[in-house]
Chain A
Amino acid sequence: MPTSEQTLDEILNLAATQFKVPREKLSPDDDFFKTLRIDSLQALSLLTRLEQHFNVELPDYELQGVSDFRTLADRIQARL
């Protein structure tokens, strides 16, 4: 099983690729809505990508209020 830091790193890589943002511009505590300049519908697209990559299911309500990569990684880590 990957460590929390590995999970976080993979999320940052995936987000950078999907939304064409330089990886070095993303930090764990960034608000991903602002850093990636995405809306709620694009966030759902990221959720789908993350679920497929980590082979987990993340109910929407578990992500309610989550807007930073580190907390997102914690939620995924809890289901690995």
Chain B
Amino acid sequence: MERALRPRLMQEFRGKALSWELSNGVIEVALHREPCNEIGAQSLDELEHLAVALPALEQNAHALIFHSKLNCGFSAGGDLRELYRGMQSMERQAALAGIRDFHQRIHHVMNALDASPLTTIAAVHGIVFGGGLELALVCDLIMADKTARFCFPELRLGLIPGFGGIPRLKRDLGNGVVRDLILTGRSFNPTKAQQVGLVSQVVAEGEALRVARGTAAQLGKFNRATAAAAKRFTKPIPYDELRQEIEIVCELYASPAVEAALKKFVESTDAQPYLP
């Protein structure tokens, strides 16, 4: 029974937060958790499922594309409402232990995606904030349509990005740009994001996935082992800094100011709740 199910499970998955399908050597991972692909426990479970399935999928694939099926955008990042509710429902030490566990697990997934020999593409539009931007940063290429908006708003909550954001930004961008994004919390439009090297291609509204598919088809003509070697050579994974990030984030979560900021965000009815 299990043997009969295994090929279908590996080739195709339909979850509550994401789905994937392998076709013509390309794994397309669609994010579809309302309201804007916030990354919480369900998303993490399904991302872990993808990470487990990845080695088998890689045998028959040369590229992977992340995209969103939701109009709001690629992802608004970590699920702050779920996080806040979780913190309220348990003792402080248990909540902090849960936060550490969540971050360790998502780092494991992000590192697996980062290390994959596949060429990975994030086809993004609309909101690409916080953890959503960190997921895009794991990918080798980011293709953005003209509606995309990139932001690390974590400092507004008294935090830093916790899913590998700063180490991967530092790997890919100049440090001045990293500080601009992190310390001001301002958002970049796709043109600016391309100018600083964050985005590979900017395309018309609604065209990011189509262009990503075209690029993935082109990559299929290349020797897979050579492409994987080129990726390893150009994209070292900053494991030490990533581990350091988890420690810093967990220390910050211990501050009462973070809980207060989360409460303010969750309870806000302002038109611009993402601003402090």
From 3 to 58 in chain A, residues with beta carbon under 8 angstroms from any chain B beta carbon are 33, 39-41, 43-45, 47-48, 51-52, 57
- Given the known A-B contacts A41-B72, A41-B126, A60-B185, are A48 and B275 also in contact in the complex, defined by CB atoms under 8 Å? no
Cα A33 to Cα B73 in complex, Å, equals: 19
Cα A43 to Cα B273 in complex, Å, equals: 12
> Which of B56-64, B163-171, B187-195, B235-243 is near enough to bind chain A?
B187-195
From 229 to 276 in chain B, residues with beta carbon under 8 angstroms from any chain A beta carbon are 270-275
**Contact (Cβ within 8 A) B147 A45:** yes
Residues from chain A with Cβ under 8 Å of B187 in the complex: 44, 47, 60
Residues from chain A with Cβ under 8 Å of B148 in the complex: 48
**Contact (Cβ within 8 A) A44 B127:** yes
Residues from chain B with Cβ under 8 Å of A41 in the complex: 36, 72-73, 126-127
Q: Please tell me if B186 contacts chain A, counting CB pairs below 8 Å.
A: yes
Residues from chain B with Cβ under 8 Å of A63 in the complex: 272
Identity of the chain A residue whose Cβ is nearest the Cβ of B76 in the assembled complex: A41
Q: Please tell me if A2 contacts chain B, counting CB pairs below 8 Å.
A: no
- Minimum CB–CB distance for A69 against chain B, Å: 15
**Contact (Cβ within 8 A) B189 A48:** yes
Q: Please tell me if A77 contacts chain B, counting CB pairs below 8 Å.
A: no
Most chain B CB within a 10 A radius of its CB, from A48, A51, A64: A48
- Minimum CB–CB distance for A55 against chain B, Å: 9
- Minimum CB–CB distance for A45 against chain B, Å: 6
Q: Please tell me if B224 contacts chain A, counting CB pairs below 8 Å.
A: no
Cα A41 to Cα B73 in complex, Å, equals: 9
**Contact (Cβ within 8 A) A67 B127:** no
Contact partner, B186, options A43, A48, A52, A61, Cβ 8 Å = A61
**Contact (Cβ within 8 A) B274 A40:** yes
**Contact (Cβ within 8 A) B272 A61:** no
Q: Please tell me if B33 contacts chain A, counting CB pairs below 8 Å.
A: no
**Contact (Cβ within 8 A) A60 B146:** no
**Contact (Cβ within 8 A) A33 B147:** no
Residues from chain B with Cβ under 8 Å of A44 in the complex: 127, 149, 187
Cα A64 to Cα B191 in complex, Å, equals: 22
Cα A12 to Cα B166 in complex, Å, equals: 38
**Contact (Cβ within 8 A) A61 B271:** no
Residues from chain B with Cβ under 8 Å of A45 in the complex: 126, 147, 149
**Contact (Cβ within 8 A) B149 A48:** yes
- Minimum CB–CB distance for A54 against chain B, Å: 12
Residues from chain A with Cβ under 8 Å of B24 in the complex: none
Residues from chain A with Cβ under 8 Å of B126 in the complex: 41, 45
Q: List 6 A-B contacts (CB under 8 A).
A: A41-B36, A44-B149, A45-B149, A51-B192, A52-B189, A61-B184
Return the 8 tightest CB-CB contacts between A and B, nearest first.
A59-B186, A48-B189, A40-B272, A33-B271, A44-B149, A64-B275, A51-B189, A60-B186
